C-alpha cells in the first residue's frame, strides 16, 4: 500500500488549443522545413543536429558517449509564483519565497526521491514552511546551486540562503516543540547538500539530525505508523547508509533499536519515497558500512557480528517492489556484501574473490537493466561504484557502459562528482591491473576526500 500523504497531483494550467493549418493561397510548391527542436540539448545545438529530446540523455549523445546537457524540462503544469507565495506566505520569520522556489519545484525536487509522483519534497512541503523558515531557505539554496550546475555553487544567492538556513535552525531548536518534523527536514536537506555545494561532508548535520530525531522518537506521543515519523526515520536511515563510512565510529550513536524495528516493519507496508518498501535493507547496509569503518580504524574484527550482518543481508527478500526497484535495492545489498568481504576479508574457508565477483556481476547486470529514463537512475551511484570497481579488465564493453551510465546520471543531477567518479574508477581499474585490491570507500577515506555519490 502506498501512503497517500505524499502523492503529488496537479491541475493543468490551461487547455492547449490546436493550431489551424490553412492551405496556401496559390499553387506554388510548399517547402516543408524540418521543425526546429525547441528543447534540444546543448550538445546537439552546438553540432546543429536534430535532437530527439530524450531525457536525460538524447540518442545522439548516447551514440557518441558524451555528456548530454538537456534543456530545462518544460513541465505539463504551470507553477505560478503568486500561488506559491500565497501558500508559503505564513513562514515563521515572514520570509517571502523567491523565484528559486519555483525552480526548485520544477527542476530539482524530483532528483531526491524514487518516484516523482510520491514526493514529500515537492508541493507537499509547502505546508511545512509555516513551521520552519529554515526549510524554505535550504530548498532555495539547493535550487540556486542547481541552477549553476553546482560548479559555481558559491553564488551570493546560494550562500545567503544557506546562512539564513543555519540561523533559522538555531532559532527553531531553541524553541520548545514536541515534534520538529519540518526542522529535521531542513537539517536533512542541509546535510545531504553540503558535499554538493560546500565540498564538506555534512557529517556535523548528520550528528545534529540524530540528536533531533532522538528527541522526536522519545516523545511518548510519537507513533511509528505516523507518515511524518516514517518519513524522517526513513530519510535518516538512508542518509546514514550513504554517509556512515565517513563517520568516525567513536562519534557514532545508534538510534533506538526498538523504535527502528517498528519503523522498519511499518515500511514493509507503506512506501517510503527514498527507500521504497525496503527500509530494512538500507538499515542493514548502514550497519555494515559503519562496522567496516570501525574495522579500518581499529584494525580488529568481530566475527560473530560479521556473520550476523551477512545473514541479515542474505536473508532479505523483496516485499512489494516492482522489478526495476527490486534490481536497485538488490544492488545495494550486493554493495554491502562486497564492502564486508573486501574490507574485512569475511570468509577464510572459501575464496572471497569468487563471492565478490559473483555479487559484483549480478549487481552490474541488474543496474544496467534499469533504463536511463527511469527515475531510479539517480539512486544508482553508490552500488554502481562498488560493482563497477570489480569489473575485470577483459570486460571493456561493460566498463564503457558504466562510464555512459555515470554521464547519464550527471545529465540528470548536474552533480560534477558523477563525472569525477569515472576518473576514480579508471584509477581503481589501474590499481587492479597491478594487483592492488581495495575499495573506493577506503581510497577516499585515506585521501580525506569528499565524494558525495548520494
Long-range interactions of 277-280: CB distance < 8 A, separation 24+: 277/318, 277/319, 277/320, 277/321, 278/316, 278/318, 278/319, 278/321, 278/329, 279/233, 279/234, 279/237, 280/316
* Chain segment 318-336, per-residue pLDDT in tens: 766 688 999 999 999 999 9
Provide the mean pLDDT of the chain. Answer: 81
* Ordered domains of the chain (ranges, CATH): 40-71 (4.10.240), 83-200 (no CATH)
Place of cell 577516499: 444
User: How far apart, in whole angstroms, are the C-alpha atoms of residue 312 and residue 292?
Assistant: 16
> Binning pLDDT at 50, 70 and 90, where does residue 18 land?
very low
Which pLDDT value is given to residue 226?
Answer: 81
* Chain segment 376-430, per-residue pLDDT in tens: 998 999 999 999 999 999 999 999 999 999 999 998 888 888 999 999 999 999 9
User: How far apart, in whole angstroms, are the C-alpha atoms of residue 268 and residue 257?
Assistant: 17
Amino acid at each position: 500500500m502506498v501512503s497517500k500523504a505524499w502523492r503529488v497531483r496537479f491541475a493543468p494550467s490551461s487547455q492547449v488549443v490546436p493550431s489551424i493549418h490553412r492551405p496556401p493561397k496559390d499553387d506554388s510548391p510548399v517547402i516543408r522545413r524540418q521543425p526546429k527542436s525547441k528543447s534540444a540539448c546543448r550538445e546537439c545545438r552546438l553540432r546543429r543536429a536534430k535532437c530527439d529530446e530524450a531525457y536525460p540523455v538524447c540518442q545522439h549523445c548516447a551514440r557518441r558517449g558524451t555528456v548530454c546537457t538537456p534543456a530545462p524540462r518544460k513541465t505539463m503544469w504551470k507553477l505560478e509564483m503568486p500561488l506559491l507565495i500565497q501558500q508559503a506566505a505564513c513562514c515563521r520569520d515572514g520570509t517571502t519565497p523567491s523565484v528559486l522556489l519555483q525552480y526548485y519545484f520544477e527542476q530539482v525536487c524530483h532528483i531526491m526521491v524514487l518516484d516523482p509522483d510520491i514526493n514529500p519534497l515537492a508541493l507537499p512541503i509547502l505546508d511545512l514552511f509555516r513551521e520552519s523558515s529554515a526549510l524554505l531557505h535550504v530548498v532555495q539554496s539547493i535550487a540556486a546551486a542547481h541552477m549553476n550546475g553546482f560548479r559555481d555553487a558559491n553564488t551570493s544567492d546560494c550562500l545567503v540562503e544557506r546562512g539564513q538556513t543555519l540561523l533559522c535552525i538555531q532559532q527553531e531548536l531553541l524553541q520548545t516543540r514536541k515534534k520538529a518534523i519540518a526542522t529535521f527536514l531542513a537539517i536533512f536537506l542541509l546535510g545531504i547538500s553540503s558535499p554538493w555545494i560546500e565540498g564538506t561532508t555534512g557529517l556535523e548535520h548528520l550528528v545534529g539530525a540524530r540528536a533531533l530525531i532522538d528527541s522526536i522518537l522519545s516523545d511518548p506521543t510519537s507513533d511509528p505508523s505516523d507518515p511524518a515519523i516514517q518519513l524522517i526515520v526513513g530519510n535518516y536511515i538512508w542518509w546514514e547508509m550513504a554517509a556512515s563510512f565517513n563517520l568516525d565510529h567513536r562519534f557514532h550513536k545508534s538510534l533506538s533499536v526498538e523504535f527502528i524495528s517498528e519503523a522498519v516493519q511499518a515500511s514493509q507496508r507503506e512506501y517510503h519515497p527514498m527507500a521504497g518498501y525496503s527500509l530494512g535493507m538500507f538499515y542493514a547496509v548502514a550497519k555494515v558500512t559503519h562496522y567496516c569503518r570501525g574495522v579500518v580504524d581499529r584494525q580488529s574484527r568481530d566475527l560473530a557480528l560479521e556473520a550476523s550482518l551477512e545473514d541479515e543481508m542474505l536473508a532479505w527478500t523483496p516485499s512489494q517492489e516492482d522489478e526495476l526497484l527490486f534490481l536497485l535495492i538488490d544492488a545495494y545489498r550486493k554493495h554491502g556484501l562486497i564492502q564486508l568481504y573486501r574490507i574485512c576479508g569475511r570468509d577464510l574457508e572459501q575464496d572471497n574473490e569468487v563471492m565478490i565477483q559473483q555479487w559484483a556481476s549480478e549487481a552490474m547486470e541488474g543496474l544496467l537493466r534499469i533504463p536511463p529514463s527511469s527515475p531510479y537512475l539517480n539512486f544508482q551511484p553508490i552500488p554502481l561504484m562498488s560493482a563497477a570497481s570489480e569489473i575485470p579488465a577483459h570486460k571493456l564493453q561493460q566498463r564503457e557502459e558504466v562510464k555512459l551510465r555515470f554521464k547519464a546520471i550527471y545529465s540528470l543531477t548536474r552533480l560534477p562528482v558523477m563525472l569525477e567518479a569515472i576518473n576514480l574508477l579508471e584509477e581503481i581499474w589501474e590499481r587492479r591491473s597491478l594487483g592492488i585490491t581495495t575499495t573506493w570507500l577506503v581510497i577516499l577515506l585515506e585521501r580525506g576526500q569528499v565524494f558525495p555519490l548520494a
